[in-house]
Structure formats: structure tokens, C-alpha cells
């Protein structure tokens, strides 16, 4: 099996040993009301702003109540709830390291999150 992701400038791939598995990829809107094994919530941007950095304080238990009034925060929290309340075994959030501060990381760890830094470059030559 080859895992492949493409963006506008790069192509990334990793060869993975062949394993029989039933894998289904979907988006948040496609899984409303369903329970599944794992969810990886991926960061995206809207108007140049990271959605996950806007709600990270909610995930880490350190949010300020007035933040919920922002439209991007409200929308992202609703989607994050749908995504992160569905998996049975694994819930993860993936975001660019430049969008998370050392303080955010410490707050998340105190709130029970495990932070994993992905450093391997899978870019094809």
C-alpha cells in the first residue's frame, strides 16, 4: 500500500507493508451521528487563520469565555465536537507547529493530551 498526499508544490509518499484492512476516509459532514474507530482532525485555514489555533485553548481546557463569540471559533468548535466525539479508540488533532505555542503544549499535556512532533520528511525526489 502507498500512502500519498499532494499539495500544490510537493508530493509526499510512504510505502507501507501490505496489510488487509478495511479503511474508509470521510469528512466531518459525512460522519455525523456515526461512531468509528479513529479520527484525525486536520488543521485548515479560513481567511488566512488557522482554525485549530483558534480553538486550541478549548481543547486544552484554558479558554476565555469571550472567545466563543467569534464566528470562526463557533463554527470550528461545532465541527471539532462532531469529529472528536465519534471515535471509540483514537482522537487526534494535527496542526502545524508554528500555530501552537509552548504554553499551549504544556496546557494540553496537563489536560491529558499526548503531543507528538512529526519530523520525518516523506517528500518524493
Provide the domain limits for residue 71. 44-111
Count the domains in the chain: 1
Q: With respect to residue 56, please indicate whether it lies within any of the assigned structural domains.
A: yes
Which pLDDT belongs to residue 67? 83
Q: Is residue 106 part of a domain?
A: yes
Q: What is the pLDDT of residue 4?
A: 46
pLDDT at 5: 47
- State the pLDDT at residue 1: 42
Cell numbers linked to 65: 469565555
Instruction: Count how many Cα atoms sit within 13 Å of the Cα of residue 92 in the half-sphere of its side chain.
Output: 13
**Model pLDDT, residue 24:** 75
User: Average pLDDT for consecutive 10-residue bins of the chain (125 residues)?
Assistant: 46 58 76 82 88 90 85 89 89 90 91 84 54
Reduced 3-state DSSP string for the chain: CEEEEECCCCEEEEECCCCCCCCCCCCHHHHCCCCEEEEEEECCEECCEEHHHHHHHHHCCCCCHHHHHCHHHHHHHHHHHHHHCCEEEEEEEECCHHHCCHHHHHHHHHCCCCCCCCCCCCECC
Amino acid at each position: 500500500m502507498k500512502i500519498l498526499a499532494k499539495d500544490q508544490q510537493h508530493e509526499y509518499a510512504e510505502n507501507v507493508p501490505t496489510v488487509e484492512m478495511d479503511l474508509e476516509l470521510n469528512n466531518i459532514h459525512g460522519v455525523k451521528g456515526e461512531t468509528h474507530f479513529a479520527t484525525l482532525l486536520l488543521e485548515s485555514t479560513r481567511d488566512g487563520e488557522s482554525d485549530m489555533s483558534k480553538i486550541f485553548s478549548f481543547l486544552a481546557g484554558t479558554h476565555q469565555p469571550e472567545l466563543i463569540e467569534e464566528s470562526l471559533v463557533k463554527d470550528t468548535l461545532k465541527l471539532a465536537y462532531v469529529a472528536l466525539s465519534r471515535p471509540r479508540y483514537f482522537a487526534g488533532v494535527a496542526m502545524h507547529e508554528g500555530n501552537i505555542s509552548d504554553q499551549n503544549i504544556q496546557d494540553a499535556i496537563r489536560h491529558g493530551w499526548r503531543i507528538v512532533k512529526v519530523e520525518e520528511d516523506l517528500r518524493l525526489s
